[in-house]
Amino acid sequence: MKDKVIVTGGCGYIGSHTVITLIHHNYEVVIIDDFSNSSPQILDRIERISGVRPHFEQVDLKSFEATQAVFKTHKDAKAVIHFAAHKAVAESIQNPLMYYQNNLFSLLNVLKAQQENSINHLIFSSSATVYGNPSKMPITEDAPTQRSSSPYGNTKKIAEEILEDFTNSQSEISVISLRYFNPIGAHASGQIGEFPSGIPNNLMPYITQTAAGIREKLMVFGNDYPTKDGTPIRDYIHVVDLAEAHLKALERLLDTSTTSPLEIFNVGTGNGFSVLEMIKAFEAVSGSPLNYEITDRRPGDVPEMFASTTLAKNVLKWEASRNLKDMIQSSWTWEQNLRSELK
């Protein structure tokens, strides 16, 4: 058994895939989750897939006392991977205080509890949303960050600023912040995947729910963008590739010869696909036409985002290995076979 790692939000979409990758690489995992957007059944599924049931602590990270207590119990952990956060853009516009309170208090409590228990490594879930509407493609990590059009996006930008100040102030804790592009796909077992609550905000779950008959029709938000077919371009990344990026980040942090206080990496494939290309690719995988309609632009959407992957390749020694067909096929399998069991 290798080192112990605390994974907050370990029952969520990206967290659960990362937990499985960590277990496969013999890490001892402690999941902290409050089930606010996940379910206890995920623990059973992780056990079924990996053969190991991780330690589990149901904790609301907004409470410092509760966070401190669980970190104290697991003070032999070497690192924390902090996924736990609210992530719905539209909900954050409706309820900004809930987002700032949840996403930022939890980060502050995790950092303070790490400090008090000498758990000296952190991987933070950031987002490409910190780039706002970038002027140059592909986006490199040194591109300026911009104020986001949503409170959700802003919590990620502010969190990175907190991490910068914190890591500048003292040398004990080293941090890797991973800026995710657009995670889609599901585990090859078909047992875990994305489980959006209510109406999905994101493209891929909306497509699969439409094909499954849960939604009537996909609305394509605008076809008058300055892109090849007029629809916005994004860098979709397989969630299992994303999980493997966390493993590489963890290995880098634990290898003390390479650590510097704060490092930031894009996690994308470097390839951009438009909304219409995604629909076509989905239709090819599912073998049926998708019901969709072009409608108005969605406020806040930018025309084009795709990652420069050079830094992750050279420094993190990570690059995505799964292609768009793998991503879409696994999303579709997950939607068809098992998603309904979790209701």
Give the residue numbers marked as catalytic: 152
Q: Rule CB under 6 A: which of 284-343 touch ligand WQD?
A: 298, 301
Binding segment for ligand WQD (CB under 6 A), chosen from 29-37, 212-220, 237-245, 279-287, is: 212-220
By CB under 6 A, tell whether 219 contacts ligand WQD. yes
For 143-178, b/e burial (b = at least 16 CB within 10 A) is bebeebbbbbbbbbbbbbeebeebbeeeeebbbbbb
* Per-residue contact string for residues 77-106; x = within reach of ligand WQD by CB under 6 A: ----------x-x-----------------
At 217, the amino acid letter reads K
Residue 159 contacts ligand WQD per CB under 6 A: no
| Alpha-carbon span 86 to 103, nearest angstrom | 7
Q: Which of 146, 189, 202, 336 binds ligand WQD (CB under 6 A)?
A: 202
How many CA atoms are closer than 13 Å to the CA of 22, on its beta-carbon side?
28
Binding characters for ligand WQD, 248-277, by CB under 6 A (x = yes) = ---------------------------x--
Q: What angle do CA 141, 167, 142 make, to 5 degrees?
A: 10
Q: Which residues are CB-neighbours of 143 under 8 A, at least 6 positions away?
A: 131, 134, 136
Q: Which residues in the 19-58 window bind ligand WQD by CB under 6 A? A: none
Q: How far is the CB of 134 from ligand WQD (least distance, A)?
A: 12
Q: Which is nearer to ligand WQD, 74 or 339 (CB)?
A: 339
Query: Which one of the spans 64-72, 218-226, 310-318, 333-341 is the region binding ligand WQD (CB under 6 A)?
Result: 218-226
Nearer to ligand WQD, 64 or 221 (CB): 221
Q: What CA–CA distances, in Å, run from 86 to 97, 151, 330?
A: 12, 11, 24
Q: For strands 273-274 and 233-234, give the pairing.
A: antiparallel
